[in-house]
Structure 1
């Protein structure tokens, strides 16, 4: 029997390509899923429409969730921008940080007290390999995901010994509608690896079942993560061709 049997899971980004697959798998494992997204998530037991970039909307959402027993929080929702940072604009940059980093922090803070009181719970943050290897032309996205990795590690240490696990999972590129046509062109031109969303959803589910700490998907990406931590200049050199490819798209 799955350890998720009978658990109440709150899942952000539930209407997305990866979020929808996770909702299906969570329900198949016996969990009751409350999906949160900008549009109704049909594959969940309950759907809450919420703009995660709005502080007012997040305040309303956290008020609702505090009064419910939540066993697992899945922070999956994300926004991605590909291009020169000066073209993203103030609103776009702020929206990206709000959804990718601020919302997970606020939702975690709202649900941690009840998890501590029960002595059990799990927070699952879906990051990106770009959070460990910050990628040019994904600058705001990469730095927000780096922040999410830091949030996960700090919160895990804060909750140590209190029965609450924090799981951070960093996929590489996933073949979903999250990728714009321009990103698809860049991925093809730079020969960037991309995984099937079903494969990524299965790997995420295994990590959650195992209550893993940090999981990075993709062997070359794990190597680049280690290199970037120890010898960032080597990674600088390794990304030279990809930078040139991206720069040519925006010339």
Structure 2
């Protein structure tokens, strides 16, 4: 299914993205990585662009326009854990640019060529936090919620064109993005943190099967549905963990 496909991926220099890139390559895809630093992953080509600035995003979009992409994988992401008022304003802005604006702009740049050929796939890697909006992950959760909404809207817009949109929402993954304080929070709240190898396999499986929406992990996937129907109930279920998290920042 992936043999001979040309795949553009962001975030391949990270622990999860590198594994996804390697697996795509192992399955016969020609993988092109886009980002600030060349990944150690097995790739065919590297496009150096900074997705944390508006000018960097625009340069990246212009670089991929007009090229033939079978699959676009928007995986790059950054995270802030803590009270929103403690987040550095520059980090807040770059976080929204990387987590939300860049995927939208790259999809905008890649979609016309896919539509012209009548085939393609846009894959947006979101987060369970984009459906269950956790306290102390406010900017990350809201950016991923926006990416989830964009994926659903774009899928409807591209219906009948031959271009599929896949949205994959992992739960927390044990990579460098999980700080010591997040690990402490996970112990306090019994939050699951998945190994990156397993998550990478699930992501590639979703790409291969051209699935629509994939939510990884139980009970988190159940809470996604519950939060959509009864958010007040989820508020009460999470309130004790929210208080525990607040204690981490009162020291």
Work out whether the TM-score is over 0.5.
Answer: yes
| 1:190 aligned partner | 189
| 1:94 aligned partner | 93
**What displacement does 1:42 show?**
2.7
| 1:85 aligned partner | 84
| 1:235 aligned partner | 234
In structure 2, how many angstroms separate the alpha carbons of the residues matched to 1:226 and 1:61? 35
| 1:249 aligned partner | 248
| 1:32 aligned partner | 30
Matches within 5 A, 1:133-148: 133-148=132-147
**What displacement does 1:90 show?**
2.1
**What displacement does 1:227 show?**
1.1
| 2:131 aligned partner | 132
**What displacement does 1:50 show?**
1.6
**What displacement does 1:204 show?**
0.7
Q: Are the counterparts in 1 of residues 71 and 122 from structure 2 also a CA contact under 8 Å?
A: yes
In structure 2, how many angstroms separate the alpha carbons of the residues matched to 1:241 and 1:233? 14
In structure 2, how many angstroms separate the alpha carbons of the residues matched to 1:135 and 1:8? 36
Q: Are the counterparts in 1 of residues 73 and 123 from structure 2 also a CA contact under 8 Å?
A: yes
Which sits farther off after the overlay, 133-142 or 187-196?
A: 187-196
**What displacement does 1:189 show?**
1.4
Unmatched runs of 5 consecutive residues or more in structure 2: none
SS in 2 for 1:195: coil
Given the two structures, how large is their TM-score scaled by the length of structure 2? 0.97
| 1:23 aligned partner | 21
Matches within 5 A, 1:23-172: 23-43=21-41, 44-172=43-171
SS in 2 for 1:194: coil
Q: Which runs of at least 4 in structure 1 moved beyond 4 Å after TM superposition?
A: none
In structure 2, how many angstroms separate the alpha carbons of the residues matched to 1:177 and 1:47? 22
C-alpha distance after superposition, 1:119-147 (max 9, x if no partner): 00000000000000000000000000000
C-alpha distance after superposition, 1:194-228 (max 9, x if no partner): 11111001111111111000000012011111111
Unmatched runs of 5 consecutive residues or more in structure 1: none
Q: Are the counterparts in 1 of residues 49 and 59 from structure 2 also a CA contact under 8 Å?
A: no
In structure 2, how many angstroms separate the alpha carbons of the residues matched to 1:53 and 1:41? 17
In structure 2, how many angstroms separate the alpha carbons of the residues matched to 1:150 and 1:24? 29
**What displacement does 1:160 show?**
0.2
SS in 2 for 1:234: helix
**What displacement does 1:176 show?**
1.0
Number of residues of Structure 1 aligned to a counterpart in Structure 2: 249
Given the two structures, how large is their TM-score scaled by the length of structure 1? 0.97
C-alpha distance after superposition, 1:8-36 (max 9, x if no partner): 10000010000000010000010111111
| 1:4 aligned partner | 2
